[in-house]
Amino acid sequence: MKFSDFIEYITNQKIGLRFGAFGLAILLWVFIVSGEPYEMVLKIPIEVRNLNEQKAMREKVPEFAQVRFKGTGRMLFKTFLLKQFYSGFKLVLDVERISDNYNYVLNEYYQQYPQKVVVPNEFDIDYIEVESPREINISLDDYLVKTVPVNHNITIEPAAGYIIVGQQKVEPVEIEIAGPKDIIETISSINTVVDTISNTKVQINNRVSLEIPNRQIQLSVNEITFSADIQALSERIIGEVPVIAKNVNIGYRVFVSPHTVSLTIIGGVNYIQGVTADDIKLTIDFRREWRSDRQFYQPQVSVPQGVIGWQDLSPPNVELIVTQVNN
């Protein structure tokens, strides 16, 4: 669209006239009638002061109140534009004398303590009333600190041909939580946020946020480190693994032939490189399995936790040569 066409479009839609009228109204308000008194409702933060260190609030106090002020148009306009850049605006609630529960009727409270409506000296405006909320209930409980374990809600989906090796870990494994006693006593653990890591081929070492079960509790840390070892799936043949006959009855001597076998283990490529024959246990329970009319037995296989499987036991069966010992 050409610029001239755009101007014509604006003119036809009377958009320019509307913007012009709005701008003119603002200028008239600021420069002509701004010396007249007006009222305006402003959003003011609420600050709780002098909370006993041994106490905690059961419920969160509203962060802001809608407060009506009066002043000249110019000053109210200045306040509206600049108050967000000043930290001095606040409504103060002093809870020093509360032992358990108290209901603040805000307009009565600030009429009695007008100094607790704090306005920076740069703004010459006067407090009239709090429009919302009209009341704030403060309920206190004993302050309690407790150590709880951290549980992760992270699901890992390795890429095809990759596996998770070993245990997934969080660090720290425990954190401190603090807050009202009746809330803290109901919490037995803290969970991470729910997340899924998909199609990954590399080791994971991520910062993960914690879920806060109640707004009135504080955590000693807001994030933990979540780690998991991801490796390519591989196979490796382990030879000369000894076969042991266990639970041999008194009065018998047992020989295993052959006394070593081989097998293939399956797991993460880096992990299985460190597995030796001594890490694998091959056993035959003599007391439970041996019979005089049976010659060959298949060993029971026990592999380290990081090995996800095994196959191809060779030979698959061994012979038990049993002799009696003369006392």
pLDDT tens column, 119-151: 999 999 999 999 999 999 999 999 999 999 999
155 Cβ contact partners less than 8 Å away, ≥ 6 residues apart: 195, 196, 197
The predicted structure's pLDDT at residue 76: 86
Residue 234: strand pairing partners: 267
List, for residues 191-227, the tens digit of each pLDDT value: 999 999 999 999 999 999 999 988 889 999 999 999 9
pLDDT band at 18 (very low <50, low <70, confident <90, very high): low
Domains of the chain plus CATH, in order, are 33-133 (2.170.120), 142-232 (2.170.120.40), 234-324 (2.170.120.30)
Considering the entire predicted model, what is its pTM? 0.67
Q: Quick one: average pLDDT of 104-110?
A: 95
Q: Is the pLDDT of residue 80 over 90?
A: no
pLDDT band at 6 (very low <50, low <70, confident <90, very high): very low
Residue 39: strand pairing partners: 70
Nearest to 228 by CA among 171, 167, 274, 272: 167
Q: Is the pLDDT of residue 305 over 90?
A: no
Q: Is the pLDDT of residue 296 over 60?
A: yes
pLDDT band at 327 (very low <50, low <70, confident <90, very high): low
- Between 93 and 6, name the one with better pLDDT: 93
263 burial via Cβ count (<10 Å: 0-12, 13-18, 19+): buried
What are φ and ψ of residue 26, in 5° steps? Answer: -60, -45
Please give the Cα distance from 66 to 58 (Å, whole number): 23
Q: Quick one: average pLDDT of 52-78?
A: 90
